[in-house]
Chains A and B, each alone.
Chain A
Amino acid sequence: MRKHIAATVDVARVAESVRSIPDVAFATDYRYMCSEGGQTLLRQAVKEHGLSRIVVCACSPRMHEATFRKAAKAAGLNPYLVEIANIREHCSWVHKDKEVGTAKAIALAKAAIAKVRLNTPLTAGESPVVKRALVIGGGIAGLQTALDIAEAGYKVDIIEKSPSIGGKMAQLDKTFPTLDCSACILTPKMVDAAAHENITIHTYSELEKVSGYVGQFEAVIRKKARSVAVDRCSGCGLCMEKCPSKKAASEFDEGLRTRSAIYIPFAQAIPNVPVIDREQCLKFQADKCGLCAKICPAGAIEYGQEDELITNKYGAIVLATGFTTIDPVRFGEFGYLHHKDVITSLEFERLTNAAGPTQGKLVKLSDGKKPKSIVFVSCVGSRDTTERGKSYCSKICCMYTAKHALLVKEKYPDIAVKVFYIDVRTPGKGFDEFQRRAVEEYGVEYIKGMVGKVTEEGGGLAVHASDVAAGTKIVAEADLVVLATAVTPSSDARKLASMLSASIDTDDFYTEAHPKLRPVESPTAGIFLSGVCQGPKDIPETVAQAGAAAVKAIGLLSKDKLLTNPCVAHVNETTCSGCLACEKVCPYGAITADYKQVNSKGLKERRLIAHVNEALCQGCGACSVACPSGAMDLRGFSNKQIMAEVDALC
């Protein structure tokens, strides 16, 4: 349980028992050390007792190390002469018995005293900040972040893996709860981003490699060969019209219609320049055709184009890689694989979109006829702790399902609409009112109970479900079944996380530095999180988070220099044997090796010596553990200091 330290630690006794330790000039206890009063106490004690080292027994150094270092500095001490003994998370929180807790707190205090004796003054270095940000992902999250950073006067590059910016929001019909047209509110943002003097957009591009560190990232971007010259193409569309290969499933329309091999994903695409899908193109597959090149009035077709690698430096990187939805084939009982009229919610969006494959006419995919009844199924793959699904709530499905149900009833009051659900979750401004409107004004039938199987009966579908409230099994007739499939992070999230050393959870969502207090920052300095890549959220939340990520990035870019952590590894060149065990364990690539002239036992010799790039070193200490000769040591956590701590404890 998370309680006050004094609940399980007798803090007065801790102060009392360390007071008599040699070198301890002053020891006291205070209720709120991190408060202004506590810090004043600390400054006064330094002055009055002429202290040269400080040990603070309080909460985790992750919480307040910086606070106490600042206080020490104000009192004229080097900030690295402060040690924290964590008697909260490591002690009071895990003990129930006050005697045990107090004994452990005393032990921890003694260890910290032993260590602080050996602390040496350290000075943080400085590193410059490149005033340019990289945003990965060109959906609404990435666009909003980029626009906000650009407006603050910094350069931003957006990389988007598909041929156009816009992301998932471009595919949506209406947005809840106000029912504005998604494209109508997104398109201006896309245009603004494209026109902004500070924004450079790389579509059909992916991140190839990243090196460096906060303020000094170096990214290699792979701009995939578009096979069309962006500067010459006028976007007339003649090539797409004439292209004979028209069998590819349209990604934008969720496979509900086909597209040509040379294509622009949707009408408002930016850039409005096609790409050639080489897998589908006859020229690339069979060296035939070449029609597009022949008819292009601008001569913009370039079959010989190759992928281009662009290298750039960035001060900050924002991840805005968005989401996809779980494959409904994993849940075969819903019959998605075998019944055309079982569709996903995203397919339903395309099916009701005026710019979609049916011009917004709601029809059954099996026969093109208008459905008489529609069943919506919630939680397909969400709140599912088995290996088939995702344990989390996808958060947006209840609302978009209510939106779909309401819109159907508004346009076609004669269609019977049922929603099967486990719980209806509608926290959000105007959300519950919206869902209730679907029920109360539009007559959507909400039934608490899940669906166990969808079968074909007669001409239509039969939805075998439970009515949990009534305690019965029911079979609902349906011409169309819509599955609210779980939100999952984009498939390349894991790859990017390892490229950037950004942490990721077991579901592949990026993890925040702190779930409450630093929700838009990755634990890796200089990496920020925007949108659904961090966790399921709707559009307003995504936009809010995108802005927050931008502010954090701007805060970084606005600095000319960053202080670097002086607690980094260094090599004792005379004892380093050049085995490079350190290099193998370094997760940051901070260790290299050079041949150097060294004095070894009076002899001068030239041999291989490890070298630490202090700018890259994060001070994790893996190298100092791996080093067999003890040549590798960590400043602020030297081998001697650690051993002194251990000795004090044992």
Chain B
Amino acid sequence: MQIREMEEAAEVLRISTVKAENCMQCGKCSAACPAGARMDILPHRFVWELMNGRVSLLAKSGTLWQCLSCFACSARCPRGVDPARLIEAVRLTVIRRQGANSINVDELPQVIDENMPQQAIVSALRKYNK
């Protein structure tokens, strides 16, 4: 089980193209994150857990669905680590599985109002569903 998880972590790192080993756990990403207050695993911790191969823990994390890909973490990281890409890569390992969509499309009409731009709906479906 553990070996498989390490392999998964390696795959996540590969598709993210992030050099997570450059991280020195300064926490600047978490400090900069505008959505951090609602994350169960803050970005710097996310990088740490991934470095230690704990993909299954991260796959269950609410952080996946709070990250907005606003790139504040990536832009301010002093080491060129890109936490947003790592979060995205883990999110993809989840939603690429059959039936693992995060948004129930049938319920969408209830949350969409007439002024909501298409951009919002397309973005959300891209980020949360496959």
Contact = CB atoms under 8 A, between A and B. Distances in A.
Contact of A451 (B28, B77, B79): B28
Given A379-B78, A385-B78, A466-B44, A450 B26 contact: yes
Do most interface residues of chain B lie in helix, strand or loop, or is the interface mixed?
helix
Nearest to B79: A385
A422 interface: yes
Contact of B80 (A333, A386, A452, A468): A386
A57 interface: no
Nearest to A449: B27
A471 B45 contact: yes
A389 interface: yes
Contacts of B44: 466, 468
A452 B26 contact: no
B26 to A, nearest CB: 4
B72 interface: yes
Contacts of B30: 449, 452, 466, 473
A98 interface: no
A189 to B, nearest CB: 37
Contacts of A385: 22, 78-80
Interface stretch (B31-39, B52-60, B91-99, B114-122): B31-39
Given A449-B26, A452-B29, A452-B31, A473 B79 contact: no
A372 interface: no
Given A449-B26, A468-B25, A383 B78 contact: yes
B32 A422 contact: no
B73 to A, nearest CB: 8
Contacts of B42: 466, 471-473
Contacts of A257: none
A335 to B, nearest CB: 13
B112 interface: no
A471 B49 CA distance: 12
Contacts of A333: 32, 76
A453 interface: yes
Contacts of B25: 468
B76 A422 contact: no
B79 A449 contact: no
B24 interface: yes
B62 to A, nearest CB: 15
A452 B78 contact: no
Contacts of A386: 77-80
Contacts of A468: 25-27, 44
Contact of A466 (B24, B28, B77): B28
Interface string A381-398: 001111011000000000
Contacts of B76: 333, 452
Interface in B6-48: 22, 24-33, 36-37, 42, 44-45
24 contacts: A333-B32, A383-B24, A384-B78, A386-B77, A386-B80, A389-B78, A422-B26, A448-B27, A449-B26, A452-B30, A452-B31, A453-B32, A465-B27, A466-B31, A466-B44, A468-B25, A468-B27, A471-B42, A471-B45, A473-B30, A473-B31, A473-B33, A473-B36, A473-B37
**3 tightest A-B contacts by CB?**
A466-B27, A452-B31, A452-B32
Interface of A: 333, 379, 383-386, 388-389, 422, 448-453, 464-468, 471-473
